[in-house]
Amino acid sequence: MTEAFKQNWDWQLQHIEQIKSIIKSQAMHIIKVEVSSPEDDMKHATDLDVQILGGRVAVRIRRDIRYRDLTIRAVNNGKKTEIHKLREGYGDWYLYAWTTENKVSDWILVDISIMRLNNCFTETRPIIMNKDGCTGFVTYSIGELQRFNAVVAQSDF
C-alpha cells in the first residue's frame, strides 16, 4: 500500500458513517418488494415477496470541488484501474459523493449495469490525463447518466 493510497483511504474512512447512512436510506433501490400471489397468501401466509437485489457498491468521494460529474480512473502507470475492473463485471452500484468543507454534501447512486448496457466503459471514450502525466480519467456528466436512467437516486444539488 502506497502512502498516497493510505492517506486517501484514511480520509475516505472519516466519511464512512455518512456514506453508510446514504446507502441505507436508498435501500429501496437495492431491494424488490412485490405483492405475493393469492395462492401464496392463502397457503403460505405470504403477502409480500421481498428480494434482496444487493450487490457490491463502489464508493468515491471527491474533495471540495465545484464540478459535479463522475470520473473513473482509466490510466495509472500501466496498472489495472477501476475502469478495467468495471469492464470485467465487478461492481453493481456506484455511490459517488462530493464534499463541501470536508462534509459529504452531494451524491448520486448509479446503477453500474445500466452504464454497462450503454457501453460507458468502452475503450473509445476520451481519457483526460492528470497534470502528473501518469494518471488519467474518463468523465461522465450527470446529464448523460440521467439520460441513460443510470442515476437511481441523488441528493438535492
Question: For residue range 27-55, what is the model confidence (pLDDT) as tens digits?
Answer: 888 888 899 999 999 999 999 999 888 88
pTM for the model stands at: 0.85
Q: Give the number of C-alpha atoms closer than 13 A to the C-alpha of residue 56, restricted to the C-beta side.
A: 6
pLDDT at 123: 77
pLDDT at 47: 94
Q: Which residue numbers in the chain have pLDDT < 50?
A: none
pLDDT at 32: 86
What is the percent of the chain where pLDDT is above 70?
A: 99
Q: Rounded to whole angstroms, how far apart are CA atoms 107 and 114?
A: 18
Helices within the chain (DSSP H only): 3-13, 16-25, 38-44, 82-87, 112-117, 142-147
pLDDT at 8: 84
Q: Buried (b) or exposed (e) across 26-49, using 16+ Cβ within 10 A?
A: beeebeeeeeeeeeeeeeeeeeee
145, with CB counted inside 10 A (0-12, 13-18, 19+), is buried
pLDDT at 17: 93
Q: Give the number of C-alpha atoms closer than 13 A to the C-alpha of residue 3, restricted to the C-beta side.
A: 0
